[in-house]
Amino acid sequence: MIWSHLITAHLIAETRELSASPRWQNPDAPGSAQVVELSTRLSSPKEYSTFRDTPEGDYLLYVIEAYEDAMNDDWLPYEIIGLPLERAREFITQIASELASGPTPHFIPNIRAVYSILSAL
């Protein structure tokens, strides 16, 4: 699994921003987190599309876009990708941590395992 440094840097920034968003502190208050979407952060639609065409990219973009939609909505939903908010925050924090450690061939299986554990709680 080889990702460009640009994609990796933006994925790390995005997941850290999502994880640290003040929206988590008061989920019942209205207002967008105004998270800059990954597709906007990347100035290359071609690179974004190419990344999406990989199994890893398809999975990660599905997850990240779900978080972007939830955090940028006026009302935070009760769940994000099927996880209650507390576990959803833990999951995106784990993704950020795994990405910061450097993408490896085990990255997607590792975060899927984390998701399975969190969804079973």
Can you give the pTM of this predicted structure? 0.91
- Average confidence (pLDDT) over 100-119: 90
pLDDT digits (tens, 9 = 90+) for 12-69: 999 999 999 999 998 888 888 888 888 888 777 888 888 889 888 999 999 999 999 9
Domain map of the chain by residue range?
A: 5-22+37-120
pLDDT digits (tens, 9 = 90+) for 73-89: 998 999 999 999 999 99
How remote is the C-alpha of 79 from its chain's centroid? 14
Whether residue 6 is predicted with pLDDT greater than 80 in this model: the reply is no
Question: Using CA atoms, how far apart are residues 53 and 103, in angstroms rounded to an integer?
Answer: 17
Please answer whether residues 33 and 71 qualify as being in contact, where contact means their C-beta atoms are separated by less than 8 angstroms: yes
Question: Using CA atoms, how far apart are residues 71 and 67, in angstroms rounded to an integer?
Answer: 6
